[in-house]
Structure 1
Amino acid sequence: MADPRSYRPATGDIPINPGVYRFRDEVGRVIYVGKAKVLRSRLNSYFANPAGLNAKTHTMVHTATSVEWTVVGSEMEALQLEYTWIKEYHPRFNIVFRDDKSYPYLAVTMGEKYPRAQVMRGDKRKDTKYFGPFYPAKAIRETLDTLLRVFPVRSCSMGVFKRAESSGRPCLLGYIDKCAAPCVGRITEDDHKKLAADLCQFMGGEGTKFIKELEAKMVEAVGRLEYEQAARYRDDVAALRRVFERNAVVLAENTEADIFAVHEDELEASVQVFHVRNGRIRGQRGWVVEKVEDVTAPEFIEHLLTQVYGEAAGDDRIPREVLVPVLPENVEEVGRWLHERRGSAVSLRVPQRGDKATLAETVRENAEQSLRLHKSRRSGDLTTRSASLQELQDALGLPVPLLRIECYDVSHVQGTNVVASMVVVEDGLPKKSDYRKFSITGEAARDDTASMYDVISRRFKNYLEEMADTAPVISGEIDIADAAEKLPARRFAYPPSLVIVDGGPPQVSAATRALTDLGIDDIYVVGLAKRLEELWLPDDEFPVILPRASNALYLVQRIRDEAHRFAITFHRKKRSVSMTTSLLDTIDGLGPTKREAMRKHFGSMKKMRAATIEELMAVPGIGPVLAATVFDALAASTPGAPAVNMTTGEVLD
C-alpha cells in the first residue's frame, strides 16, 4: 500500500475555491471522486491524520498514489462535474447505483396515421402521449396486454403492419381480437384514432366512465338474451377493474412525486422509490448498494438524487415533488440543479405529516424488507454458504472444515461495565441457542487484551471441565436413553473449528495465549480488524486480505457485526441497571426490596424519570411520602435539570 505522505500536495498549492477532486491508483485508474466547497480544507482532511480515518477512507488513501483537482465556479458546477466523472470512471470507492436504467413508459403514438400503443424507454418523441413511469417493465406490459382486450389499438411495429397490409391478413393479435386490425381495413382511421384517444383517457385516470359504459352494455345484452355478448362485456369490465385497481389513488389526484426511503446497516444500504403520478403509484424501484464510501445520510441522499436524475430531463421525468427521508447536504444547490433539469420548480423536502408521510413510511418498510431479503438470500443459499466457508478455509490455510465458528467481542465505555459476547455460527448460519454473554470484572477489565484472555479462558475451561465430567456411554453396560437423561447439560462441550476475535494482533495473541495455557492446540484463532477489514493469524507479520466482493469477507463481517450487536445490547442493559442501582441507593427509605420492585415495574431509568408521583405510588411498598422523595431525587438527577433545594423547593443558582 502507498504512504499518503508520498503524494500529499503542499497545503499552499491547494486552492480554496469549490471544486472536484480525483484520487488515482498506481496504474492511473480513478478510484474516488469527490467535491468540496473549499478544496484545501477537504483534501487536508485526508492527509492530516491518516491513522484517524475510518476504515474505508483509510483504505482509499492508502490505495491511491496521486490526487488531482479541478476548480469550478460554483457548488452547482461541482455537483454536475462530480456526477459526470462518477458516471465516466465508475470509481471503486464511490457509491454507485448501478441499476440506473431508463424508466419504461406506456406510450401512444397519436401523431401516426394509425396510433400505436407500446412500452417505450429513452427520450420522448413529438406527438406521443406517455403514461408512467412504471417499474418493473413487466408490470406495464401486463397492463397493456389487459387493456388491448377493451381498447384493441394497434401495437405492432411498422414492418409487421406493412406486411399484414400487403398480404391482406392480420397478425395473431387481430385474430384473437386484441387488435382492431386497421391494416386490413376492419376499422377506419378516425375510429381507430378515437379508440387510441379512449385508451389515453382511461390511463389518464377516467376509468370509472368506461367501466360504467361497459356495465350498461352488459345489462342491455342480458335484456336482449344475448348472454355470450354479456359475458364478453363482463370479462371486459373485470379486466378494466384489474388495471384500475393497480392505479388506485393514494394521494390527491394532482400529486406528482417521487418518494424515496433508505434502510441501511454498517455494510450495505437499501433504497426504494415510489413514483406517484396523478395521485397513483405508477411504479416502484429499488437498489441494494455496498457502502464502499463512508458518507453521512445527507451525503448519501445527494449521491442518490444526482445519479437517479442525472440523465433525466423535463417535467415528465422529474416530478414536481421529491420527498426524501433527510435533506441532502447541499440542499439549495441540489434544488437548483433539479430545477434546471426539470425546467420548472421542484419541491425537495422531508414529509412530516399526513398522507405523504404515511406513504413515505410504507416506502421505508419496503426498503427494510428489501435489505432483509437481500441478506437472507446471501446467507440462506446453501451453495453460497458452502462456497463462503470453503473460501475462508482456503484463504486462512486451515486443514479442517469450518463446521462451527465462534466469534468474541468486548464492549465497554472507558473501562466501565466491561462485557463480552460469544456468538456461534454452524454451517454458515447463526445458532442463537449457543450465544453466551460474559461480565468481566477485576484485573481482567483493565484493557481489551486482558478481557479477551479472561473470556477465552473461561469459555474453554468450561469446555475442558464438561468433557472431563462426561463419562463415555458403553452399549450393553447401561441403557443409552437412561444415560442421556442423567448427563448434565453440556453448554460448552462442542468445540469450534475456528475462533474469530474482534481486533488485531494484540487480541489474537491474547486468545492464543489463553488456549495454550489450557493445553488446547487444535483450535484455530483469527482476528478481524475493523481498520482495513483484514484477517490476522497468530505470529504472522502480514494480514490476510480478502477481496472486497468475496463471500468469505461478507461472512466474517456478518459474524463480527452480530457479535458486536450482541455485546452492545448486553453492555447497555448492564449500564442501565448500574445507573439505576447507583441512584436508587442514595434515596433514603428505599431499601433493596423496594429498589428491585422499582426496577421491575418501570424497566429503565428513563421511564422512572418520566413517572409522576401517582405512577410511583403504583409500585408495591411505595407510599405518598416516599413517592414524593423518589420523584424529587429523580428530577434532580435528570440531565440539564436545575438544582432544587429539597426542603424549600427553591431553584438554586
Structure 2
Amino acid sequence: VWVHVPQRGEKAELRAMAQRNAQEETERATTVEERTAYTLELLGKMLNLPEPPKRMESFDISNTGKSDIVASMVVYSGTRPLKSAYRRFRIQSLEGHPDDYASMQEVLRRRLQRAADGDEKFLPLPDVFLIDGGETHARAAQTVAWEFGVDVPIFGMVKDDRHRTRALVTPEGREIGIVTQQAVFSLIGQIQEETHRFAITYHHESHSKSATRSALDGIPGVGEKRRAELRKHFGTIKAIREADVEALAAVVPRAAARAVWEHFHPKNENV
C-alpha cells in the first residue's frame, strides 16, 4: 500500500487546509464540551449534588384569574433543552380556584405517578427538579416528592424585582446565589425563561380555545364536532360571526348554519 503525501503545489495546499479545518473543528468542539462540563460541575458543587446534573426538569404555572390554569414541564439534558421530553398539563383539581402551590403539587404528583406507572415518556427521573418560585413553592413540591419516596433535590428559582433569576432556594429556605457565577447564572436564567415561555404559549392556546368554545356553546344542533369544523374553516369567532348562512352552510348542515347565524344575530330573523 502506497500513501502519497504531497509536499508542494495545489494538492499540498489542499492537505494543509484539511488539517487546519480538522484542527479548528476539534478545538471548537473541545471548547464547547469543556465549557458545558465546567458549568454543570460548578452547578453540582453549588447545589451540593454528588455529581454534575445530567438531566434537569423545570416547572412553571400559568393562569389568568380563575380559568385556564396550565403548567409546563421543561427538560434539559446537560445544558441543552430536550424538547422531545417537554410536557404540558391542564390543572384539573382547581378550576375556578387558582392556587399556585396546589397547582404545582398537582403537576408534580401527576408527573411522578406516570413515572411510578412505568410510563417511558416520564422516565428517567431527573437529577434535579427546578420550580419557578421561592421557598414555599419548593417546599410544596418536596411534600409531593416525599409522598412517592422520591429523593430528587428540589430548588426554587427566585427572581429579582426586574424578573431576572437571582438565586436558587432550597425547601428549607437556604438561598444559593448564582449572580456571581456567570455560566450558572446564564444557564438557570435560560431554563427559567424557557419554562415560562412554554407555559405561556400553552396558556394562550388554551385560553383561545376556551374563548372559542364559550362563544359557540349552546347553539342548537352544533356539537363539539361541528364547532371544531367551524373553528378549523373560519379560524376566528369574528370570521364565524361575520359569515352569512351560505358560507356557514358550506361547512355544516344548513339547519346548523342558520342556528349559528341566528345565534350571532338574535335581532334578525330573516336572511
Segments of 5+ residues of structure 1 without an aligned counterpart are 1-376, 467-488, 637-643
d(CA) in 1 for partners of 2:261, 2:85:
42
Matches within 5 A, 1:88-103: none
Per-residue CA deviations over 1:457-492 (Å, capped at 9, x if unaligned) read: 1111221221xxxxxxxxxxxxxxxxxxxxxx6111
Letter in 1 for 2:109: S
**Residue 80 of structure 2 corresponds to which residue in structure 1?**
429
**Residue 530 of structure 1 corresponds to which residue in structure 2?**
159
d(CA) in 2 for partners of 1:402, 1:610:
55
d(CA) in 2 for partners of 1:589, 1:562:
42
Letter in 1 for 2:186: Y
d(CA) in 2 for partners of 1:525, 1:433:
22
For residues 526 and 611 of structure 1, do their structure 2 counterparts lie closer, same or farther at Cα, with a shift above 3 Å needed?
farther
Shift of 1:388: 2.1
d(CA) in 2 for partners of 1:501, 1:591:
39
1:578 equivalenced with 2:215 (yes/no): no
Letter in 2 for 1:596: A
Matches within 5 A, 1:52-451: 381-443=32-94, 446-451=98-103
Larger relative contact order (Cα-Cα within 8 Å, sequence gap ≥ 6): 2
Letter in 1 for 2:158: A
SS at match of 1:381: helix
Matches within 5 A, 1:537-552: 537-540=170-173, 542-547=174-179, 550-552=182-184
**Residue 503 of structure 1 corresponds to which residue in structure 2?**
133
d(CA) in 2 for partners of 1:610, 1:402:
55
d(CA) in 2 for partners of 1:381, 1:612:
60
For residues 570 and 607 of structure 1, do their structure 2 counterparts lie closer, same or farther at Cα, with a shift above 3 Å needed?
farther
1:622 equivalenced with 2:253 (yes/no): yes
For residues 612 and 588 of structure 1, do their structure 2 counterparts lie closer, same or farther at Cα, with a shift above 3 Å needed?
same
Per-residue CA deviations over 1:223-246 (Å, capped at 9, x if unaligned) read: xxxxxxxxxxxxxxxxxxxxxxxx
**Residue 494 of structure 1 corresponds to which residue in structure 2?**
124
1:516 equivalenced with 2:167 (yes/no): no
Per-residue CA deviations over 1:318-349 (Å, capped at 9, x if unaligned) read: xxxxxxxxxxxxxxxxxxxxxxxxxxxxxxxx
Segments of 5+ residues of structure 2 without an aligned counterpart are 1-27
- So what's the TM-score if we normalise by structure 2? 0.77
Larger Rg computed on CA atoms = 1
For residues 456 and 591 of structure 1, do their structure 2 counterparts lie closer, same or farther at Cα, with a shift above 3 Å needed?
closer
**Residue 23 of structure 2 corresponds to which residue in structure 1?**
none
Mean CA deviation greater in 565-574 or 418-427: 565-574
**Residue 335 of structure 1 corresponds to which residue in structure 2?**
none
CA RMSD of aligned residues (A): 2.7
d(CA) in 1 for partners of 2:106, 2:113:
10
**Residue 24 of structure 2 corresponds to which residue in structure 1?**
none
1:576–1:605 contact (8 Å) kept in structure 2: no
**Residue 590 of structure 1 corresponds to which residue in structure 2?**
222
- So what's the TM-score if we normalise by structure 1? 0.34
Shift of 1:442: 2.3
2:157–2:168 contact (8 Å) kept in structure 1: yes
Q: How many residues align?
A: 237
Per-residue CA deviations over 1:83-137 (Å, capped at 9, x if unaligned) read: xxxxxxxxxxxxxxxxxxxxxxxxxxxxxxxxxxxxxxxxxxxxxxxxxxxxxxx
2:74–2:194 contact (8 Å) kept in structure 1: yes
SS at match of 1:528: strand
1:407–1:423 contact (8 Å) kept in structure 2: yes
Per-residue CA deviations over 1:519-578 (Å, capped at 9, x if unaligned) read: 112x111111223522111203x4222125611111111111111111111111111221
Shift of 1:506: 1.4
Shift of 1:610: 5.5
For residues 604 and 422 of structure 1, do their structure 2 counterparts lie closer, same or farther at Cα, with a shift above 3 Å needed?
farther
Once superposed, which parts of structure 1, at least 4 consecutive aligned residues long, lie more than 6 Å away? none
2:69–2:98 contact (8 Å) kept in structure 1: no
Shift of 1:383: 2.9
d(CA) in 1 for partners of 2:149, 2:217:
45
**Residue 60 of structure 1 corresponds to which residue in structure 2?**
none
d(CA) in 1 for partners of 2:72, 2:195:
6
SS at match of 2:260: helix
d(CA) in 1 for partners of 2:62, 2:49:
29
d(CA) in 1 for partners of 2:114, 2:169:
26
1:386–1:428 contact (8 Å) kept in structure 2: no
1:418–1:439 contact (8 Å) kept in structure 2: yes
SS at match of 1:442: coil
For residues 393 and 574 of structure 1, do their structure 2 counterparts lie closer, same or farther at Cα, with a shift above 3 Å needed?
same
For residues 614 and 561 of structure 1, do their structure 2 counterparts lie closer, same or farther at Cα, with a shift above 3 Å needed?
farther
Shift of 1:404: 0.1
SS at match of 1:422: strand
For residues 610 and 530 of structure 1, do their structure 2 counterparts lie closer, same or farther at Cα, with a shift above 3 Å needed?
farther
Letter in 1 for 2:81: P
Letter in 2 for 1:505: E
d(CA) in 2 for partners of 1:510, 1:607:
44
Shift of 1:452: 0.5
SS at match of 2:219: coil
Shift of 1:443: 4.0
SS at match of 1:386: helix
Per-residue CA deviations over 1:296-328 (Å, capped at 9, x if unaligned) read: xxxxxxxxxxxxxxxxxxxxxxxxxxxxxxxxx
1:462 equivalenced with 2:91 (yes/no): no
Q: Work out the percentage of aligned pairs sharing the same amino acid.
A: 33
Per-residue CA deviations over 1:399-444 (Å, capped at 9, x if unaligned) read: 2321000000111111311111111110211111111111112248
